[in-house]
């Protein structure tokens, strides 16, 4: 069997009240449409077709990394009309699965079952809802066989009482789409060509239409406004958290976790509340992530602790490191095993050696730092001269006293010592002490200034 997938993504989404095409609004850090594409790709289709309309150039640019046959629906005349635009690119011997670019949570197993049911005729995904308002209703005969779908606006009062609804997700052999879609008319309240109308045409031809049932309403929820977008986001995050916990990750509160990319965890990982993971994040065994941390494209080795309120981006952390609280690791930061970055410390393009410590209120940028270095509070590497960036090299075992200013380009060789309060502009040799500060004067008989009394 050859499978081809057609994703309908031409809607404007006026209820989103946004200039951004609806299918580009994000869930879990990825556009709605990208979620649907990823699920479709997992089915290993022969071809993937996306029917775009409103903002098509913007949509294509955002998803340019995928192998997609883009189809333009210049006039949006309904779902049946949208599928018709893609049919010329579909092989005659294929089974075609129709998905929607704003329905991102449909499970792979559900779609596999739907495709399996569509080998010899149409198969429709349905759901039973306590409140079916807004959905088309499934019509069945006395034997339970499906006879058609009626849209709510076209339904009778009796039909509106039905609770089994049409999700819109449908699969059928390509030949059925070619036979039935040209016969679909637009004699309805919307004046549109409805894709589900092929169901009653197939029944009229004596075919039995198969159906599958969705596991939950959230699985088939389409996003039409920001309230539904939030519903989908929370369900997506719940699924991510549940999967992690089943793998052995401890999460303080699954409702306060956001994964906006991919998160891979080893054993005995702990994640506290309000942690956000963006891009590609990898956490080794025994890693602990404190409350209100943000990790973006970060790799963390075994046993490292990230304390609360820390922000890490494009950084690599070795084993048994300690970061934070209130630390910021910017792109290019690499911590060797056992390194420590403390509170209110910022690093950028910094290689921090094994066992080295930058514990308080410091900025280390464009720096190669050796092992067992101690950097005192208030130290900064002056790496920018207003035009170019310059590098600071710090050897093994160096001690930098508090409130020191290291003006790059600069080299401090191993076992060098910088006295507190120094501004260092030239090389410090091995085992040398650098002192650069004015001589202290103590003035005897000095009188404190009096507070002036206002004459007003």
Q: Which of 58, 57, 60 is nearest to 49 (CA)?
A: 60
Catalytic annotation on 360? yes
Residue 446 burial (CB count, 10 A)? 6
In this structure, are residues 123 and 178 in contact, taking their beta carbons and an 8 Å threshold?
no
Question: Encoding tokens for residue 68?
Answer: 């997609």
Strands 30-31 and 26-27: antiparallel
Of 25, 81, 200, 360, the catalytic one is: 360
Q: Where are the extended beta strands (E) located within 64-121?
A: 69-72, 94-100
Alpha helices per DSSP H over 91-208: 108-116, 157-160, 174-180, 198-204
Question: How far, in Å, CA of 291 to CA of 310, rounded?
Answer: 9
Query: Which residues lie closer than 8 Å to 175 by C-beta, 6 or more apart?
Result: 92
In this structure, are residues 56 and 63 in contact, taking their beta carbons and an 8 Å threshold?
no
Q: Which of 59, 45, 48, 57 is nearest to 9 (CA)?
A: 59
Query: What single-letter DSSP state applies at residue 428?
Result: B
The beta-carbon contacts of 236-245 under 8 Å, at least 24 apart in sequence, are 236/27, 236/28, 236/35, 236/104, 236/105, 237/28, 239/105, 240/28, 244/271
Residues involved in catalysis: 360
């Amino acid at each position: 069997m050859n499978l081809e997938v057609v994703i309908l993504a031409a809607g404007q989404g006026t209820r989103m009240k946004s200039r951004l095409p609806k299918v580009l609004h994000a869930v879990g850090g990825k556009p709605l449409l990208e979620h649907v594409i990823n699920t479709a790709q997992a089915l290993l289709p022969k071809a993937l077709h996306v029917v775009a309309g409103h903002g098509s150039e913007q949509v294509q640019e955002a998803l340019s990394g995928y192998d997609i046959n883009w189809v333009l629906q210049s006039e949006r005349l309904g779902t049946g009309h949208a599928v018709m635009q893609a049919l010329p690119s579909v092989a005659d011997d294929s089974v075609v699965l129709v998905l929607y670019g704003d329905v991102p949570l449909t499970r792979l197993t559900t779609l596999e079952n739907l495709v399996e049911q569509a080998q010899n005729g149409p198969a429709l995904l349905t759901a039973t809802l306590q409140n079916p308002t807004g959905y088309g209703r499934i019509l069945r005969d006395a034997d339970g066989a499906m006879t058609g779908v009626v849209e709510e606006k076209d339904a009778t009062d009796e039909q509106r009482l039905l609770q089994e609804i049409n999700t819109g997700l449908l699969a059928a052999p390509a030949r059925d789409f070619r036979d039935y879609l040209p016969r679909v008319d637009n004699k309805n309240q919307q004046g549109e060509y409805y894709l589900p109308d092929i169901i009653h045409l197939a029944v009229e031809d004596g075919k039995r239409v198969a159906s599958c049932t969705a596991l939950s309403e959230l699985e088939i929820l389409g996003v039409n406004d920001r309230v539904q977008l939030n519903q989908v986001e929370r369900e997506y995050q719940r699924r991510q958290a549940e999967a992690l916990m089943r793998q052995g990750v401890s999460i303080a509160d699954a409702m306060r976790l956001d994964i906006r990319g991919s998160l891979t965890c080893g054993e005995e990982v702990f994640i506290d509340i309000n942690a956000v993971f963006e891009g590609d994040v990898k956490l080794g065994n025994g890693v602990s992530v404190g409350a209100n941390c943000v990790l973006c494209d970060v790799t963390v080795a075994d046993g490292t602790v990230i304390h609360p309120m820390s922000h890490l981006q494009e950084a690599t952390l070795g084993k048994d490191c300690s970061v934070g609280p209130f630390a910021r690791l910017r792109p290019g930061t690499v911590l060797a095993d056992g390194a420590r970055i403390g509170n209110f410390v910022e690093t950028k393009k910094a290689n921090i050696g094994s066992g080295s410590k930058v514990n308080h209120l410091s900025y280390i940028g464009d720096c190669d730092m050796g092992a067992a270095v101690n950097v005192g509070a208030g130290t900064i590497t002056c790496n920018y001269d207003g035009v170019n960036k310059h590098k600071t090299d710090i050897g093994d075992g160096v001690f930098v006293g508090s409130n020191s200013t290291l003006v790059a380009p600069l080299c401090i060789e191993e076992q060098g010592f910088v006295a507190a309060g120094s501004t260092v502009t030239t090389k410090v040799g091995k085992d040398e002490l650098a002192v650069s500060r004015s001589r202290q004067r103590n003035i005897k008989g000095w009188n404190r200034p009096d507070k002036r009394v206002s004459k007003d």
